[in-house]
Amino acid sequence: MPLFDLLSHLIPAGGKKSRSLVSTGEQASATVVGIRVEDRADSPTRWEYALDVHAAAGTFRAGCRQSLGVDARRAAALGRHVVVRHRGGQVMIDEGALVGRDAGAAASTGNTGWKQVDPPPVGILDERFSKHQAAIVGATATTVTVVSVEPTDGEERWSFIASVDGGAGRTVTVRGRVPHYAAGQVAPGSRLPAGLTSMGDVLIDWFAVAASRTPNQPQEPPPAPTPPTDTAAALSPSPAPPYQFESTSDAKEFQAWLKLRAVRASGVSDSVLATAMKKFGIAAESWPSIDIKWSQRCQSDPILADQLRLARG
């Protein structure tokens, strides 16, 4: 039995607040715009979500910490639309609705360990892959095409064969953890961004995989919220216009910011961080202002944040 399922049997379901939110909160659709995973050695891994909630009265961003089951974690990937319950600015992913159970089952078997938190940053920030992502920064960018896939022991342990694009027919076997938020992108024929190290190792860029949309993982439109009166047309949000970067250099700077943020979060030495900055053409003295610039844009502009989380990679 997977560890999470075992814990679900041992740990009581969510507390009074979470059960109340499931049973009395307003149902709406939401877009997952950020996922933060904290790796804690002596306790279960902590998952937090940033959600743009498309409520009847308008769209707002909220955060929650929630221990979803495996199927729900895969469904609540970056950029995906999920069903939520919300009330007074609090929001919870409705796991029962997300994976096909009714609300009563969701309250009893899902929504465990829920807590309202500040929304995590836009994109993926997964401490379990910090060193992996840091290694990718120093590797040569490439892509691989998945040939076959075979899940192995453990809920996130996979083995798959992929051909290295531009590698004169070279194939590699990739074994290891495939994070739930990227699992839906791994299928025969999928092209995955990767890094090729100086030793010839192929490292899949899972953050970029999670942020991309591929033909095997289409994005369906969100279900429309149901207003309480006949003012549905007036309250329905109009489609957001696509965001245009001010320049090509602006777009490149954003890509570099995402990569460097992952490197910095991994706790690497100052010399490694300086090397990464040099690779992306960013002077060390410019980093604080660049970090503040993109952090503020992602936090203050929902339309921009929605486009930026998909622009990575």
Instruction: Output the DSSP codes for 166-224.
Output: TSTT-EEEEEEE--HHHHTT-STT-EEEEEE-TTS-EEE-HHHHHH---TTS--PPPPP
Element housing 162 (H / E) = strand 157-164
Per-residue confidence (pLDDT) for residue 306, from 0 to 100 = 62
pTM, to two decimals:
0.62
Token digits of residue 29: 């659709």
Per-residue confidence (pLDDT) for residue 101, from 0 to 100 = 53
| 87 contacts 116 by C-beta, under 8 angstroms | no
pLDDT tens, position by position, for the chain (313 residues)? 344 444 443 344 456 666 677 667 888 899 999 999 998 777 788 899 999 999 888 899 999 999 888 888 888 988 888 989 998 888 999 888 877 754 444 433 444 578 889 999 988 999 888 888 888 888 888 888 888 887 665 556 777 888 887 665 678 888 878 888 888 888 888 889 998 888 888 899 998 888 875 433 444 445 554 444 444 444 444 444 445 667 777 777 877 777 777 777 666 677 777 777 887 788 888 888 887 787 777 766 665 666 555 544 4
DSSP 39: -
Give the separation between CA 311 and CA 58, rounded to whole angstroms. 25
| 297 contacts 304 by C-beta, under 8 angstroms | yes
Q: What's the full length of the chain, in residues? A: 313
Residue at token pair 């950029």: 79
Give the separation between CA 29 and CA 85, rounded to whole angstroms. 9
Per-residue confidence (pLDDT) for residue 99, from 0 to 100 = 77
